[in-house]
Amino acid sequence: MKKDLSIKKDVPEKGTLGDVLRSQGVSRRSFMKFCATTASMMALPPAMIPMIAKAMEQARRPSVIWLSFQECTGCTESLTRAHTSTIESLIFDSISLDYHHTLQAAAGSAAEAAREAAMEENYGNYLLVVDGSIPLDNPGYSTIAGISNLDMLVESAKGAAAIIAVGTCATYGGIPHANPNPTGAVSVKDIITDKPIINVPGCPPIPVVITGVLAHFLTFGSLPELDHIGRPKAFYGQSIHDRCYRRPFYDKGQFAETFDDEGAKKGWCLYKLGCKGPTTYNACATTKWNNGTSFPIESGHPCIGCSEPDFWDGGGFYKALAMPTENIAQTAVYAAAGAAAAGAAIGAMNRGKKNASNKIHIKTTIEDLSK
């Protein structure tokens, strides 16, 4: 069945990762450099570099089944097209990607047969990668070859060694989950509870993060250390704000007020333009995008917080974090008007009571006292 797939026919079928890289013309020096970068990104000591190199060289290509549910294919685009001919992409190419319905040539029952064959052959050992959220309201909202997303996920997860949820849709529900969530979209973690799940959020996630996670899995045979919402700490351990090169401007109180004012031209902090850097944990500020060219803030746009749950419902991308998400001025005016009316009414009632008691008050005269 694998012959039906269009993925990397020039890659040796069952070779080790080292064989694959050598066949692609990757030098030992470049490979060691990649291992060193991976080690430093994952905050591992330099002594681990040779170990990573050895483990990765000898690693058998793991079977990977990639499921795409309610998504936009942005994650796949990010991971496959971010940069060409880098070792990261070769590592990605070097896995045995046995099912990915966007990338594979086969379709329909032939494609599903490939998935079933890969699952059977590598039962208990394959990696399941999922991008996209799963609709629960109606299974018909999203189907592949007539199989609902929910059924396919549950079935494919059974024999998986681990699941990597890629992108904010698979990790936290993402755009489909945004209010009012018309499809009842949920994340992988909401459905699968008995498998190790690693969340690689982002809209899309940084390519090097997914290869880093794969490298960790190939080296140690286990998942990296995760934070409280399932993200690898090595990449999501620090906020964008803390690693942002514009941070000194924030500290000095120098802000761009609009997208084309003097502050914006001077590269000042984008906090007032809605930057979510202070509440967003991701590696953009350090690893950057497009082969290390830049990241959104460097291009002059505030961080939208795409690696955090519910970032679509955070009250607007261009609203500063300190600003209320609702119209508080209007609320306050209504509250003031209501309270003033209530106050006036209570005051009038009190006055009426006072006047009434004054009316029935009988004055005591001297005659009364001398009775």
Partner 1 sequence: MTEIELLSWARGPGLQIASIVFVAGVIIRFFEILVLGRKANLAEAKGREMSSGLKTMITRTVPDKATFKRSSVTIVLGYIFHIGLFVICFFSAPHILFLKDIIGFGWPSLPTAVIDAFAVVTIIALVATLVNRLTNKVMRYLTNFEDLLTWLLTFLPVVTGYIAFHRIGFTAPSLLAIHILSVELLLIVFPFTKLMHAFTLFIARWYNGAISGYRGVAS
* Cα–Cα nearest to 19, from 89, 71, 114, 94: 94
Q: Which residues sit opposite 301 in a β-bridge?
A: none
Residue 338 engages partner 1 in binding (rule: CB under 8 A) = yes
Contact 97, 9 (CB under 8 A): no
**Residue from 344, 352, 353, 356 that binds partner 1 (CB under 8 A)?**
344
Q: Token match 């698979």: residue?
A: 170
Q: Does 250 bind partner 1 (CB under 8 A)?
A: yes
Among 50, 292, 347, 352, binds partner 1 (CB under 8 A): 347
Nearer to partner 1, 340 or 356 (CB): 340
Q: Of the ranges 43-51, 53-61, 135-143, 332-340, which one interacts with partner 1 (CB under 8 A)? A: 332-340
Smaller CB distance to partner 1: residue 43 or 342?
342
Query: How far is Cα of residue 50 from the mean position of the Cα atoms in its chain?
Result: 31
Is position 313 an interface residue for partner 1 (rule: CB under 8 A)?
A: yes
Query: Binder to partner 1 among 205, 224, 230, 309 (CB under 8 A)?
Result: 309
Identify the residue among 252, 265, 266, 353 touching partner 1 (CB under 8 A). 252
Residue 352 binds to partner 1 (criterion: CB under 8 A): no
Q: Write the binding mask 14 to 33 for partner 1: x where contact by CB under 8 A, - elsewhere.
A: --------------------
List 145, 229, 267, 301, residue binding partner 1 (CB under 8 A)? 229
173 CB-near residues (< 8 Å, 6+ apart): 133, 181, 185, 186, 187, 190, 309, 310
Contacting range for partner 1; rule: CB under 8 A; set: 65-73, 115-123, 216-224, 309-317? 309-317
CA distances from 49 to 41, 46, 63, 264, 332 (A): 12, 6, 24, 41, 60
What CA–CA distance (Å, rounded) separates 108 from 114?
10
Distance CA 147, CA 192 (A): 17
Minimum distance of partner 1 from residue 150's CB (angstroms) = 22
Of 43, 105, 323, 356, the one binding partner 1 (CB under 8 A) is 323
> How many chain residues interact with partner 1 (CB under 8 A)?
50
Contact pick of 40, 183, 279, 287 for partner 1 (by CB under 8 A): 279
Q: Looking at 31-39, 51-59, 106-114, 324-332, which segment touches partner 1 (CB under 8 A)? A: 324-332
Q: Which has the closest alpha carbon to 69: 153, 126, 137, 6? A: 153
CB of 135 to partner 1, least distance (A): 20
Distant-in-sequence, close-in-space partners of 179: CB < 8 Å, separation ≥ 6: 312, 313
CB of 52 to partner 1, least distance (A): 29
**CA 143 – CA 266 distance, rounded (Å):** 49
Query: What mask of x and - would describe binding to partner 1 in positions 151 to 180, judged by CB under 8 A?
Result: ---------------------x--------
Cα gap 159→157, rounded to integer Å: 6
- Which of these ranges, 8-16, 73-81, 191-199, 277-285, lies near partner 1 under the rule CB under 8 A? 277-285
For residues 130 to 149, the per-residue mask of contacts with partner 1, x marking binding by CB under 8 A and - elsewhere, is --------------------
Residues that bind partner 1 (CB under 8 A): 172, 228-229, 239, 241-242, 250-253, 255, 271-272, 278-281, 305, 308-311, 313-315, 319-326, 328-329, 331-332, 334-336, 338-340, 342-344, 346-347, 350-351
